Amino acid sequence: MTRTFPERFLFGAATAAYQIEGAAFEEGRTASIWDAFARVPGAVINADNGDVACDHYHRYPQDVALMKELGLQTYRFSTSWSRVRPDGGAVNAKGVDFYKRLVDELLDNDIVPWLTLYHWDMPQALEEKGGWTNRDTVDRFVEYAGTMHDALGDRVHYWTTLNEPWCSSFLSYTAGVHAPGRMDVGDGMLAAHHLLLSHGRTVQELRRRDESLELGITLNLTVADPADADAPVDIDAARRIDGQFNRWFLDPIFRGVYPDDVIRDFRKVDSDAVARWEQAVQPGDLDAISTPLDALGVNYYHGEMLSGTAPAEEAPGGDAPTERATASPFPSTDGIHWVERGLPRTAMDWEVQPEGLTRLLQRVWDDYAGGIPLYVTENGAAYDDVREGDTVPDSERRTFLVEHVKAVADAIDAGVDVRGYFYWSLLDNYEWAWGYEKRFGIVRVEYDTQERTVKDSGREYARIIAARAV
């Protein structure tokens, strides 16, 4: 059955500054936390860094031409705080000018620019003053946001404050997996709060400047299912993951409160950390964090099935579950086990679960959105594809793309106001702690020559966009 999309629905692709730009220390840009973290022995596979990445800083006209060739209606990119306000200080005109040129190139090619202010590349100088555990960083972020609006507010309508604050707090300050590599429960909680506060205050500032802007935040969310829907321990395992991954961010943004059950979970693990966090949440903070939005970005890659006990011999459906050795950045996951479901897996070892995207969009719409539109701001898969002549036959990614676009159509049919889909990523790129080993792009990049080749998945996406149907 052919599924068609509303006329206002936007098809796009997404990238992030540190992952593609390169030019790490050119024209005034100084070190970000990722420049520093990537140089810590053992932090990144093969000790890779983003110094060159996809050289997008010098090749952006070629990359925009590829977007035009694919028929992209919109392009989601992030601006580099370290390029725009190096070390968190004065404005760097040359850095700002790069984004002016990029936006002009997009508009000249009828591609809608979608700007994300923070995709994890805080200036290292600010991290050395405490980073996101320091409340002063909130003020520095609002200043940076104002700089970008001064430069691009007349040409950019869609603004996202933060990308995936879960990653830049718990994954970065508690698990130590991402920059800056800290491993402290309290630091993760403080970082999460200050990230959310910077979001709320930035929304207030940008709305004060221009009420016509469409302002939002992007959250990476999951579908947490109990292995046995009738087993209290499995239900509680799913509750804990949903609470720490989803509700810790959704509740303060949409309800102006942090979830009590997750606070209790944290307190059982580290009561001192909770005490530090409680002192950091000042009067008025949650009012700012819950400033009404115009849109919510949802990033989805996979769901998860969870058990609260060691796996039994037989799963509820008769299949033998397998406990996965999954490191978790959450401080209250003792006794939780990730259960195999026999689903296909990507090169990241993530399950492929398109129907989870439909359920997630429905849940967010019903429980939180309150009528504001949703956008799937990231959805994609890494596979070990290989170039063959002038083509890259990546049938697994092509299937992943098609099935997830269908899942979005299912959500729209169910009454969810989903207004856009951004594939992650436009280009193969620097994939954080995995370096250059994981390829997510619908365009292949040969890192030694910077040659670009549209993959079969990219051609399929172009057909979907042209037909506005899948």
Residues with catalytic function: 164, 378
Q: How far apart are CA 370 and CA 359, in angstroms?
A: 17
> If you search the block for the tokens 């005490």, which residue do you land on?
275
Instruction: Residue 214: name the closest of 159, 161, 253 by CA.
Output: 159
Nearest to 384 by CA among 395, 374, 373: 395
Comparing C-alpha atoms, which of 163, 180, 169 is closest to residue 125?
180
- Residue (of 80, 186, 89) closest to 128 by Cα position: 89
> CA angle 200-205-210, nearest 5°?
125
Distance separating alpha carbons of residues 87 and 36, to the nearest angstrom: 13
Parallel/antiparallel/unpaired status of strands 374-378 and 418-424 = parallel
The DSSP annotation for 384-435 comes to ----BTTB---HHHHHHHHHHHHHHHHHHHTT--EEEEEEE-SB----GGGT
Burial bucket for residue 198 (CB in 10 Å: 0-12, 13-18, 19+): buried
Q: How far apart are the first and last CA of the chain?
A: 8
* φ and ψ at residue 334, rounded to 5 degrees: -60, 135
Residue with tokens 């011999």: 313
User: What's the CA gap between 60 and 53, in Å, rounded?
Assistant: 13
Q: List 14's β-bridge partners, or say none.
A: 76, 424
Residue environment code for 203-227, b if the CB has 16+ CB neighbours within 10 A, otherwise e: beebbeeeeebbbbbbbbbbbbbbb
Which residue do the tokens 């860094």 mark?
A: 49
Q: Are 469 and 1 in contact (CB under 8 A)?
A: no
According to DSSP, the residues that pair with 326 across neighbouring strands are: none
Kindly state the helix (H) or strand (E) to which residue 323 belongs, with its residue range: strand 323-324
Structure tokens at 425: 């990523």
